[in-house]
């Protein structure tokens, strides 16, 4: 039997190779390949304009801006966060010697439930680190009210939230800082890459020192920094991808429309609809399986898809709180996180990217409804 074409959960947005070659030629001519080069500067400016945020600092990936934000804000003690995310969110706390305190999520968004935050605050709590999971905006207003009441900082892991807006305003403007991932698997990628978004020039300057070992000029080190600078090749690649990211998001949107049209009528499958006033980026398309009504468990469907060369992914299973590093924490108790467990145990992210053709989408749908 002929093997069916492989469909992966995502596929990277790639710049035109000739255009990229032209930019590489410019880099070769200048012989300036990293350390705040001209493409790096240009990409920071263009991203700030595109994302409608005041300042952007580029990074080598989406994990280092999280680690750096915690350093820059001198966060210590305990930080309230979500277990329903990629493990990098919590690892960033661990690498800073901070104890994560997991709070359950809201089933309607998958994001941290603001109503459960206050009871997790202790005298050692210094910050909240929510995630806009799948690019769905957190309840930033409620989180700000709680943070202000208790004098806490807020760092948003916005790895999935590239270009997401609420009522015309970027979601990345919420909190003290937000961080992005530009990994190959994201809506917008620079191969590996990431960024931090901040509100003021002074913070931007400080972050730029911190991502360059703390250097201010040739001889002064103003803080114990790290090296997390983006190089010129990736910045050039990022400039080209920025020109085509809107078209890629629209292609994803069309896939989401088709999935929803059909899956809305399938018993035992649920998914998120668009939120009113929100400009979404369609970075992921998670569906949730209710085995009793669907007639098959999540894992059975996952395996069935794999057997047909359709590679959905169980983002985010297992929960971060289930990994051995975090499992022993008091807040990792299963009865503290019932909604997060429910989601993690029932989720499959369907293939979602700009390269999916109609035929691919119909093949995926057919497999799910049969
Ligand atoms: N915070 C959150 C909330 C995050 O989700 C992430 C990362 C971070 C922080 C940290 O950001 P980074 O430091 O990574 O920038 C992926 C990504 O590696 C990771 O960036 C992402 N989140 C996480 C959710 O997913 P994997 O292990 O699923 O990727 P992988 O290699 O299995 O790829 C998935 C599929 O994508 C493949 O089946 C095919 C396709 N693919 C992948 C790559 C790498 C391609 O077609 N081409 C490629 O080059 O982790």
**274-308 pLDDT, tens digit each:** 999 999 999 999 999 999 999 999 999 999 999 99
What tokens were used for 288?
A: 């949730």
Which residue has a Cα nearest atom 24 of ligand 1? 86
Res 1: pLDDT: 57
Of 73, 57, 72, nearest to 193 (Cα)? 57
Give the per-residue pLDDT at 3: 77
Predicted local distance difference test score (pLDDT) of residue 219: 96
pLDDT score, position 349 = 98
User: Using CA atoms, how far apart are residues 163 and 120, in angstroms rounded to an integer?
Assistant: 31
CA gap 102, 318 in Å, rounded: 14
pLDDT attached to residue 4? 87
Q: Distance, CA 184 to ligand 1 centroid (Å)?
A: 7
Backbone angles phi, psi at 234, to 5 degrees: -70, -35
Tokens 């990277």 -> residue:
12
Give the chain's length. Answer: 370
pLDDT, position 145 = 98
Hey, which of 185, 211, 238, 351 would you mutate to test ligand 1's pocket, going by the most ligand atoms within 8 Å of its Cβ? 185
Q: pLDDT tens digits, residue range 221-239? A: 999 999 999 999 999 999 9
pLDDT the model gives residue 2: 67
Please state, as a whole number, how many other Cβ atoms lie within 10 Å of the Cβ of residue 234. Answer: 21
157 lines ligand 1 (CB under 6 A): yes
Is the pTM above the cut of 0.95? yes
Please tell me what DSSP assigns to residue 167.
T
Residue 241 Rama label (left phi>0; alpha psi -120 to 50; beta): alpha
The alpha carbon of 194 and the centre of ligand 1 are apart by a number of angstroms equal to: 12
Residues with pLDDT less than 50, the chain: none
Separation between Cα atoms, residue 342 and residue 319, nearest integer Å: 10
């Amino acid at each position: 039997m002929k093997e069916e074409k492989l469909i992966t959960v995502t596929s990277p947005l790639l710049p035109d190779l000739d255009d990229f070659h032209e930019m590489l030629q410019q880099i070769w001519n200048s012989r300036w390949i990293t350390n705040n080069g001209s493409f790096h500067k240009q990409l920071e400016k263009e991203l700030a304009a595109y994302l409608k945020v005041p300042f952007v600092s580029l990074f080598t990936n989406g994990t280092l801006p999280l680690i750096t934000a915690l350093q820059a804000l001198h966060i210590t003690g305990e930080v309230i966060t979500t277990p329903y995310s990629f493990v990098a969110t919590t690892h960033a706390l661990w690498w800073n010697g901070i104890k994560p305190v997991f709070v359950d999520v809201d089933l309607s968004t998958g994001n941290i439930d603001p109503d459960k935050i206050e009871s997790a605050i202790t005298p050692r709590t210094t910050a909240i680190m929510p995630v806009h999971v799948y690019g769905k905006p957190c309840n930033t207003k409620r989180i700000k009210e709680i943070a202000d009441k208790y004098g806490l900082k807020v760092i948003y892991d916005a790895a999935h939230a590239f270009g997401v807006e609420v009522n015309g305003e970027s979601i990345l403007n919420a909190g003290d800082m937000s961080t992005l991932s530009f990994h190959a698997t994201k809506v917008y990628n620079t191969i590996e890459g990431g960024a931090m978004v901040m509100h003021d020039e002074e913070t931007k300057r400080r972050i730029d020192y911190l991502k360059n070992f703390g250097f201010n000029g040739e001889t002064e080190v103003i803080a114990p920094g790290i090296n997390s600078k983006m190089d010129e090749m990736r910045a050039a690649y990022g400039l080209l991808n920025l020109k085509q990211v809107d078209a890629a998001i629209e292609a994803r949107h069309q896939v989401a429309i088709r999935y929803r049209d059909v899956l809305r009528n399938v018993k035992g499958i649920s998914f998120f609809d668009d939120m009113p006033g929100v400009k979404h980026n369609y970075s992921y398309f998670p569906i949730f399986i209710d085995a009793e009504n669907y007639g098959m468990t999540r894992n059975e469907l996952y395996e069935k898809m794999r057997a047909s060369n359709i590679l959905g992914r169980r983002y985010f299973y297992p929960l971060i709180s289930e990994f051995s590093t975090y499992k022993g924490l008091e807040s990792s108790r299963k009865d503290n996180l019932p909604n997060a467990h429910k989601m993690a145990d029932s989720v499959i992210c369907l293939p979602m990217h700009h390269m999916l053709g109609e035929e691919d989408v119909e093949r995926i749908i057919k497999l799910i409804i049969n």
